């Protein structure tokens, strides 16, 4: 069973790590018997992996707060101007939002499979899943861009193009809704663009064998994967709150 051999190898970091602190060695973390990808300030690879995971989660906690402010604004204004927000929500194309949710959920699956491949050392499957993720991320952005174009054409963009065809009972606060809509989806799309760049970088490194080779270290795949799943979680809340308010 391949799992067993891999984990057995992995669960046993270089035995001499504790005996000789890396700082003593003139060659630093490239000392013989020490994996190249183990940074000098870590005792072993498990410690390094857990620190990186924790660091990513710390960043994601700040991201929760970042988006949280906007979610709070949406909640408050939605309760204050419910009818105006409902009118704005009805102008959006809910089916495009639903398709995009499906695209993003599928990309989350391919990321999870890619992380699994990187742990198992399956290079070709890893490359395929990373590539599918990048394609799905692009599809999301294209659909989102098309949606923005429709909003522009229908005069639903405050300041730039505001001339809704349907008469609105409270146009001022429907504009407020559209501002929150563009802020939240725009911030989310920015995260998608950054994520897309990260996946192209991972793809390049995966092709080079950085994650699956004999000296491979898959931590980068795991950490970027966490980021992508988080962006997915944000959209999981954005979709019902923005598109399905009735």
Partner 1 sequence: MSEHPVQHPAAHHEPVDHADQHGEQVRTLWVIYFWLMGLLVLTVVTAHWLNLGWFNIVIALAIAVTKAAMVVWIFMHVKYSGKLVWVFATAAFVWLGIMLIFTIADYSSRDRIPRGDQANTIPSEVRSADEGVQAELHP
- Tell me which residues in 81-110 interact with partner 1 (CB under 8 A): 94, 98, 101-102, 105-106, 108-109
CA neighbor of 207 nearest in space, from 134, 132, 130: 130
Tell me if 64 contacts partner 1 by CB under 8 A. Answer: yes
For residue 105, what are the contacts with CB-CB under 8 A and spacing of at least 6? 232
Interstrand relation of 156-157 and 161-162 (parallel, antiparallel or unpaired) = antiparallel
Exposed/middle/buried for residue 4 (C-beta within 10 Å: 0-12, 13-18, 19+): exposed
Tell me if residue 157 falls in helix, strand or coil.
strand
Cβ-based nearer residue to partner 1, 9 or 26:
9
Tell the smallest beta-carbon distance from residue 127 to partner 1 (Å). 10
Q: Name the segment binding partner 1 (CB under 8 A); options: 23-31, 56-64, 158-166, 173-181.
A: 56-64
Query: How many positions of this chain bind partner 1 (CB under 8 A)?
Result: 77
Among 19, 165, 167, 215, binds partner 1 (CB under 8 A): 215
**Which of 39, 40, 70, 112 touches partner 1 (CB under 8 A)?**
112
Q: Which of 25, 121, 170, 171 binds partner 1 (CB under 8 A)?
A: 121
Closer to partner 1 by Cβ: residue 108 or 185: 108
233 binds partner 1 (CB under 8 A): yes
Q: Which tokens hold the place of 67?
A: 């988006």
For residue 71, give every residue at least 6 positions away whose Cβ sits within 8 Å of its Cβ, in sequence order, or none: 184, 237, 241
């Amino acid at each position: 069973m391949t799992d067993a051999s891999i984990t057995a190898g992995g669960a046993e970091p270089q035995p001499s790590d504790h005996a000789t602190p890396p700082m003593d060695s003139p060659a630093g973390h490239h000392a013989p018997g020490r994996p190249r990808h183990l940074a000098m300030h870590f005792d072993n690879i498990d410690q390094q992996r857990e620190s990186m995971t924790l660091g990513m989660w710390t960043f994601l906690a700040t991201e929760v707060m970042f988006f949280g402010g906007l979610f709070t604004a949406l909640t408050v204004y939605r309760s204050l101007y419910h009818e105006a927000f409902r009118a704005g929500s009805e102008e959006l194309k809910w089916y495009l939002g639903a398709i995009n949710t499906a695209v993003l959920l599928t990309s989350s699956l391919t990321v999870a499979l890619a992380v699994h491949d990187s742990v198992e050392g399956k290079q070709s499957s890893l490359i395929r899943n990373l590539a599918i993720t990048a394609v799905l991320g692009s599809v999301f952005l294209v659909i989102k861009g098309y949606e923005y174009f429709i909003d522009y054409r229908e005069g639903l963009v405050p300041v730039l193009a505001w001339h809704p065809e349907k008469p609105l009972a409270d146009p001022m606060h429907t504009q407020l809704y559209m501002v929150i809509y563009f802020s939240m989806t725009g911030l989310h799309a920015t995260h998608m663009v950054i994520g897309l760049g990260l996946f192209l970088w991972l793809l390049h490194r995966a092709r080079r064998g950085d994650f699956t080779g004999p000296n491979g270290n898959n931590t980068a795949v795991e950490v970027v994967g966490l980021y992508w799943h988080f962006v997915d979680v944000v959209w999981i809340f954005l979709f019902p709150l923005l598109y399905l308010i009735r």
